[in-house]
A = this chain, B = another copy of it.
Amino acid sequence: MDALPQVRRTDGQLADGRAITYYDRPDAPVRSATDLRTDLSVATSSELRWDALVGEWVVVAGHRQERTYHPRASACPLCPSTSDQWTEIPERDYQVAVFENRFPALTATTSAVPSAAGFDAPDGIAGGRCEVVCYSDRHDASAADLDPDRMTLVLQTWIDRTEVLRRDPHVQSILVFENRGREIGVTLDHPHGQIYAYPFVGPRDRAIAERVRTYRERHGRDLHADLIAAEVRSGERVVVADPHWVAFVPFAARWPFHVRIYPLRPVADLTELQPDEISSFAPLYLSVLRALDAVFGRSMPLIAAWHQGATHGDRTGSHAFMEISGWRRGPDRLKYLAGSESAGGVWISDVPAERSAAMLREALIT
């Protein structure tokens, strides 16, 4: 087992007090630039409202209406700073940089609004944090363009952020994700992802935990493990696999190109990954991203997200995995969430899982 390349972490602060952290390979320049901006001011009030009818929290963040919206490339806030232009990243170059979102949905001061008549909203829910993870100082790179070492550094960054954020007693779950593509509303082209540390467990992860628990009670077995085993045994929906990871289109795929990437060994969250798992992730993940772009010969609008076990309490049966939703259903057609999906929560899929898996496998080797 090869040793993992080392990471040098440098913690700093932006002019308005937000944290910035650089993740570099050890031979990178020292990170010591000071943010000299004097014009930063943002109201970051946000609040949690309990949707009593459905039993879910909604984050209300009115200040986000003012967030940066499709800036010119020369005004990109995620590029390194230059002598002419201060950005969110004071350094003149960087490898991976993480900072607190200037327009965060959640902050340490986010609190729950008691609904008028008190409708059984859970008590003591407050806080949270939103971070931006910049993958490269090159504005026009995409995650699929990163070299494997940089992608590994990004994974090492996700792991460290998960480790840091889960120490916050208010944080109950951590979603590491990337949105890609103007077609699905991405307002900054620079290659980056985000991390939302929620002060609750979201409905999707709650549903999964509930299913895992029920399955264990009924069968004495692990649902994730049995689903993975069934996919590997059948093979018809597997896109790519290696000794540590498997990527497949799930049997009941929702999006036109829907891929789950699982570490074969169950880990509750990214912090439990071992060195050989970490180093083999990047080549596999990059090959999936490139296949997604190759399917229609153009960039696939997508959301890629790590589902991780709840940060506190019982993590039995948690099995972290990445879920990628690719929204293009044809060269010029997107999947939209219409009445059935949006109002009813019932997904209508136009592309059977076996077909999209075959298209992705074919795109892998071209």
Contacts and interface: CB of A to CB of B under 8 A. Distances in A.
Given A62-B355, A196-B340, A334-B185, A215 B51 contact: no
Interface stretch (A19-27, A152-160, A197-205, A274-282): A197-205
Interface of A: 49-62, 64-65, 69, 105, 115-117, 119-120, 173, 175, 177-179, 184-186, 194, 196, 198, 202-205, 207-208, 210-211, 214-215, 218, 223-224, 226-227, 229-230, 233-234, 250-254, 303, 305, 307, 323, 325, 329-330, 333-340, 342-353, 355
Top 10 nearest A-B pairs by Cβ distance?
A: A185-B336, A305-B343, A177-B339, A51-B252, A204-B345, A49-B252, A203-B345, A202-B344, A58-B252, A202-B346
A330 B64 CA distance: 12
B343 A208 contact: no
B184 A338 contact: yes
B230 A54 contact: no
Contacts of A69: 333
Interface centre among A60, A62, A177 (most CB of B within 10 A): A60
A348 B105 contact: yes
Contact of A62 (B52, B55, B335, B352): B352
Contacts of A55: 207, 210-211
Contacts of A218: 120
Contact of A340 (B175, B211, B251, B343): B175
Nearest to A113: B251
A173 B305 CA distance: 32
A64 B350 contact: yes
A344 B205 contact: yes
Nearest to A116: B230
A65 B330 contact: yes
A68 B342 CA distance: 21
B185 A339 contact: no
Contacts of A185: 334-338
Contacts of A208: 53-54
Given A175-B339, A339-B178, A343-B204, A349 B61 contact: yes
Contacts of A234: 116
Contact of A198 (B62, B202, B251, B344): B344
A330 B210 CA distance: 38
A193 to B, nearest CB: 8
A203 B211 CA distance: 14
Given A177-B340, A303-B339, 17 more contacts: A52-B223, A53-B224, A53-B250, A55-B211, A56-B207, A57-B346, A59-B340, A59-B346, A60-B352, A119-B223, A120-B218, A175-B339, A175-B340, A185-B335, A185-B337, A196-B344, A203-B345
Nearest to A51: B252
Contacts of A355: 62
8 contacts: A51-B250, A54-B208, A58-B253, A62-B350, A185-B335, A203-B345, A303-B339, A305-B343
B344 A204 contact: yes
A310 B215 CA distance: 26
Contacts of A333: 69
Nearest to A319: B53
A345 B200 CA distance: 12
